[in-house]
Structure 1
Amino acid sequence: MASRHHGRQIFCRAVTFLLEKLRTQHILQAQSPVAAAGHATQQHPRAYASIHTLNSPCPSGPPAFSFDIDGVLVRGKVVLPEALEAMQKLTTSDGRWRYPVVFMTNGGGVCEERKAQELSTRLGVRVTPEQVILSHTPMRDLVAELAQRPVLVSGRGDVLNVARSYGLQRVLHTRQLGRAMPAATPFSTYPTDSEEVPAATRTVAGPAVELPDPAGAGAGAGGGEGRSAVDRASGSIPLSGFGSERLCPVRDLGLATEAHPIDTVLVMTDPDDWYRDAQLICDVLTGAGVPTRSAAGAAAVGAPHVKLVFSNPDLLWANEFPKNRFGQGAFAHMVLSLFGRLTGGCRPSHVTFYGKPNPQPYRLAERLLLTQAWQLGLPLPEVPPGVLPFSGIYAVGDNPAADVRGANQAGNPWVSVLVRTGVFQGPGTNCDVDTARVAVDDVAAAVDAALHHTRSMHWHSMR
């Protein structure tokens, strides 16, 4: 009996040694110059490099995934074939998710329901609104404070109705503000209800932003069903709760006046008219909520400062164009620089950035992923308070300054995974400034790497 037990121990040690040797060879081959150059081999069509040892506080837990969208799953209007392959790896034959998944993007401009529908159609999987985190989704937490206060929103897409669907009740768009006083933005145009919507307005070019269809489908709880494209583009949007669909929020309701000064400016997506929005936002900031008021006049009455919130700090993003494009971070730099020039080098008193790499979307993602794990019936190990029961949350992104930095700062069990199909194109296999823990060619390779590390950690936890 003792001999049999001793033989079993020798066999287990031999298997352990063999598996460790194979794993080491695999990682070394992934880090070889051939793999680093991104060249496929017959043995490893998608080689990946493990940059740091992936120590998990909960190695026996299931994996979870967070996917950026632009530059990872799509480029502009083109769905990357590797994205479809990745989704197949994460779903069963009947379309159920194997693991918790969220789609976390610094884009926006539509409600979460509409984005979930779009992703479902394009990726061929069922995506629910609870799996979608847009750049402005964490702004829901501001509603308790801002629900009844005058709020100015900026951005392309249907951001006005998105803000209303979140619960903001006294909200107006920069387009409405500019249209109420056209002399404030003499180089911008504001079509009337009877004018045709310009083609530039109908076609929205930018990260994860699209206008609702003419029937208003998916516009969200904030209204919009049945509105024409002209209404959406011109700013003649129904003001729920005020009884008339043609009331001007400035001239008729007095928003952005001394009676009802703007409390907060929310830049929810990249604006469609940077000149108009930069001008009006600076007017509102220097006038303490009233664009027609001077800074001296605001100071004389002791008016409180306006809060300024940007939904993301992305300087660059990737679409079909071969070079990266300026994002909302570039617009923010412009606004803050202009404000500084106007005020002798000052910075607005209250400036907040949401979106990756800031912590708000990561904390929200953790709550959503944990809820999904329960709903999927996954066996979750018991963990101490404050520890998530995942072996890893693999954050797949293309932008080192946003996706990688954010996941690295989020801490365990987040694992940053960098792909080369978007903003990051080298040089090298990884970013020298914001270094990902795993660097791969594309999102399918990212899923392969994550599942490989999950199996490895689970095996080690059972030894």
Structure 2
Amino acid sequence: MDTTKPQKKSLQVPPKRPHLTRLSSMTSTKDDVSDGGTDVVVVPHRYMLKRSQSFSSGFAASLGKARKEVGPMEIEDEAAVLPTSPESPGSPEMFGVTPEESAPATPITPITPLDGLPSADTFAFAFDIDGVLVRGGQAIPEAIEAMKMLNGENKYGVKVPYIFLTNGGGKTEAERCLDLSRQLDISISPAQFICGHSPMRELTEAYGTVLVVGGEGEKCRQVAEGYGFKDVITPGDIIKHDSATTPFRKLTAEELRCSKSGRDLSKVKIEAVFVFADSRDWAGDCQIMLDLAMSKGGYLGTLSETFDEGPPIFFSHSDMVWSAAHANVRLGMGALRRMLETLFRDVTKGKELDTIAFGKPQIPTFEFATRLLRQWRKDEHEIDAPPETVYFIGDTPESDIRGTNEFNKHSENDWFSVLVKTGVWQEGTEPAYKPRATVDNVLEAVRFGLDREFGEKGTKVPTKNIIEPLCLADAGEVPSEAIPTAALR
């Protein structure tokens, strides 16, 4: 428990069922895996020298473009909306998108905040996604009810601001919002969403030609180009250029069609490697990244004598395993990272490969979440001040709880960690990083936060004249059933 700030007692709910363990490549030890552990590597200053002029403005512009492109998407197609792996600030107008364009193109009627209700101005929520709201591409049952509660269907009659913060990726933020909107029956904006590779857009000015790894088909190339990377190469491009690169991996007809060619890649300097999403071809991707790590200055086909001349390699997160539809946890990006580092050490006879990780529990990810949440509260809820408390709901002690607790030591407001039992944490074991509250599911987490604010802490329930907005000119008398039930309490 964080001892730097006064804390209320944690809520402990009796255990009900066992869950599985999630390891993080930042915290696993030699006993956890066959090879020794590596710690988080902070992005060296030299990698950040040529940053873009403004992260937030570039972020807004890119998301605005993405939202316009995704707007007409038909999400009735299951394959287009359900994520295959675990996988941004201001109003729609700020992105150059009208309110009509910003709404997800979905055949369902999404949950929306009840009109006229006041917004909680002293606290907010932030959610991990996999294992908290969604599992195996389907909403966890309590998640939909939790969203309803945040949008006003609660005994206090208030709406509560919230954002989403996930290590997952592989799609644009706008597409991920469409996925989550469908799964939770709710309208979600990219202005309240951060995924693992979102911070990578800060490096678009630092690197010219980059290798982007992971994800389905050409998706991650498209995301990277949308961020502003000017020359994006994929493993498919390299295999198409030289099929001997991966002796046992042959491109499909579709991959051959989509992969780019037309230049001699052996003469192209690859300045950085970005793993945007989980690899669909571990052997091939690892071989290509290893070739570059051992190369002379990022040129394919070369071999450094010192093995310290390769391009920097960035991972969007370091979760060793993640919670999917399978009964047991599945290997994640952190496992790929560990495998690459181990192979490099073995092949070079002892040289260490330093890779860089984004996502939770990295402090910059939480700093960006703070900026995004403040902007969302201002634009959507007309609250131009940071919340006093942010309840972060996660299922992973090694990333969600660790990151929240560490950030709380430095943040001006109180970040309150809540661990749920619907993910991969093994109930009955001591969490590697202790949450300030442990509950059964996300609905209980939301209920706990509301009751703590308006009950235990004695926060005053905000009020607002909700009748006047309903009495439109020339609309006649407003029937009582038109007034939100919560407002009549």
TM-score normalised according to structure 1 size: 0.69
Unpaired stretches in structure 2, ≥5 consecutive residues: 1-7, 18-119, 462-489
The answer on whether the counterparts of 1:110 and 1:159 sit within 8 Å (CA) in structure 2 is yes
Amino acid of the residue matched to residue 133 of structure 2? L
Partners of 1:269 and 1:346 in 2: how far apart? 26
Partners of 1:460 and 1:68 in 2: how far apart? 25
Partners of 1:392 and 1:291 in 2: how far apart? 50
Amino acid of the residue matched to residue 427 of structure 1? G
The answer on whether the counterparts of 1:103 and 1:131 sit within 8 Å (CA) in structure 2 is yes
Structure 1 pair 421/377, CA: closer, same or farther in 2 (3 Å)? closer
Match of 1:236 among 240, 244, 258: 258
Any idea what the Cα deviations from partners look like across 1:351-405, whole Å, max 9, x if unmatched? 2100111123211111110001111345556xxxxxxx31311111111111111
Any idea what the Cα deviations from partners look like across 1:154-207, whole Å, max 9, x if unmatched? 101211110000011111111221222111111112013xxxxxxxxxxxxxxx
Structure 1 pair 184/446, CA: closer, same or farther in 2 (3 Å)? same
RMSD of aligned Cα (Å) = 2.5
Partners of 1:460 and 1:166 in 2: how far apart? 41
Partners of 2:14 and 2:340 in 1: how far apart? 40
Partners of 2:240 and 2:397 in 1: how far apart? 39
Partners of 2:456 and 2:225 in 1: how far apart? 45
Displacement of 1:234 after TM fit? 4.0
Partner of 2:484: none
What secondary structure does 1:117 align onto?
Answer: helix
Partners of 1:99 and 1:253 in 2: how far apart? 53
1:373 to 2:372 alignment: no
Partner of 2:335: 330
Partner of 1:75: 135
The answer on whether the counterparts of 1:66 and 1:393 sit within 8 Å (CA) in structure 2 is yes
What secondary structure does 2:205 align onto?
Answer: helix
Partners of 1:325 and 1:236 in 2: how far apart? 28
1:403 to 2:403 alignment: no
Any idea what the Cα deviations from partners look like across 1:237-289, whole Å, max 9, x if unmatched? 5xxxxxxxxx51xxx2344x34x211100011110000001100000110131
Partner of 1:317: 322
What secondary structure does 1:65 align onto?
Answer: strand
Partners of 2:401 and 2:283 in 1: how far apart? 31
Partners of 1:316 and 1:120 in 2: how far apart? 25
Partners of 1:130 and 1:271 in 2: how far apart? 27
The answer on whether the counterparts of 1:391 and 1:454 sit within 8 Å (CA) in structure 2 is no
Partner of 1:8: none
Partners of 1:191 and 1:460 in 2: how far apart? 60
Partners of 1:69 and 1:460 in 2: how far apart? 28
1:279 to 2:287 alignment: yes
Partner of 1:220: none
Displacement of 1:37 after TM fit? 2.8
Match of 2:350 among 335, 345, 361: 345
Range with bigger deviation, 285-294 or 366-375:
285-294
Displacement of 1:295 after TM fit? 1.7
The aligned runs of 1:143-182 (5 Å cut-off) are 143-146=204-207, 149-157=208-216, 158-182=219-243
Partners of 2:241 and 2:428 in 1: how far apart? 49
1:253 to 2:266 alignment: no
Amino acid of the residue matched to residue 169 of structure 1? K
Partner of 2:415: 414
Partner of 2:82: none
Partners of 2:132 and 2:403 in 1: how far apart? 16
Displacement of 1:78 after TM fit? 2.0
The answer on whether the counterparts of 1:270 and 1:328 sit within 8 Å (CA) in structure 2 is yes
The answer on whether the counterparts of 2:191 and 2:372 sit within 8 Å (CA) in structure 1 is yes
Partners of 2:225 and 2:257 in 1: how far apart? 14
Partners of 1:295 and 1:321 in 2: how far apart? 42
The answer on whether the counterparts of 2:401 and 2:434 sit within 8 Å (CA) in structure 1 is yes
Amino acid of the residue matched to residue 180 of structure 1? H
Amino acid of the residue matched to residue 137 of structure 2? K
Partners of 2:252 and 2:177 in 1: how far apart? 31
Match of 1:306 among 311, 316, 321: 311
Displacement of 1:92 after TM fit? 3.7
Structure 1 pair 118/97, CA: closer, same or farther in 2 (3 Å)? farther
- Percent identity, aligned pairs only, is 32
Displacement of 1:118 after TM fit? 1.2
Partners of 2:145 and 2:352 in 1: how far apart? 47
Match of 1:90 among 146, 150, 154: 150
Match of 1:66 among 126, 129, 146: 126
Partner of 1:390: 387
Structure 1 pair 277/72, CA: closer, same or farther in 2 (3 Å)? same
Partners of 1:284 and 1:364 in 2: how far apart? 31
Structure 1 pair 435/289, CA: closer, same or farther in 2 (3 Å)? same
TM-score normalised according to structure 2 size: 0.66
1:36 to 2:14 alignment: yes
Partners of 1:268 and 1:127 in 2: how far apart? 22
Displacement of 1:293 after TM fit? 0.6
What secondary structure does 2:204 align onto?
Answer: helix
Partner of 1:57: none
What secondary structure does 1:295 align onto?
Answer: coil
What secondary structure does 1:361 align onto?
Answer: helix
Partners of 2:288 and 2:345 in 1: how far apart? 15
Partners of 1:97 and 1:281 in 2: how far apart? 50
What secondary structure does 1:176 align onto?
Answer: helix
Amino acid of the residue matched to residue 364 of structure 1? F
What secondary structure does 2:146 align onto?
Answer: helix
Question: How many equivalent residue pairs?
Answer: 342
Partner of 2:272: 264
Partner of 1:447: 446
Amino acid of the residue matched to residue 405 of structure 1? R
The answer on whether the counterparts of 1:61 and 1:380 sit within 8 Å (CA) in structure 2 is no
Amino acid of the residue matched to residue 444 of structure 2? A
What secondary structure does 1:144 align onto?
Answer: coil
Partners of 1:276 and 1:97 in 2: how far apart? 52
1:132 to 2:208 alignment: no
Partners of 2:450 and 2:230 in 1: how far apart? 45
Amino acid of the residue matched to residue 338 of structure 2? H
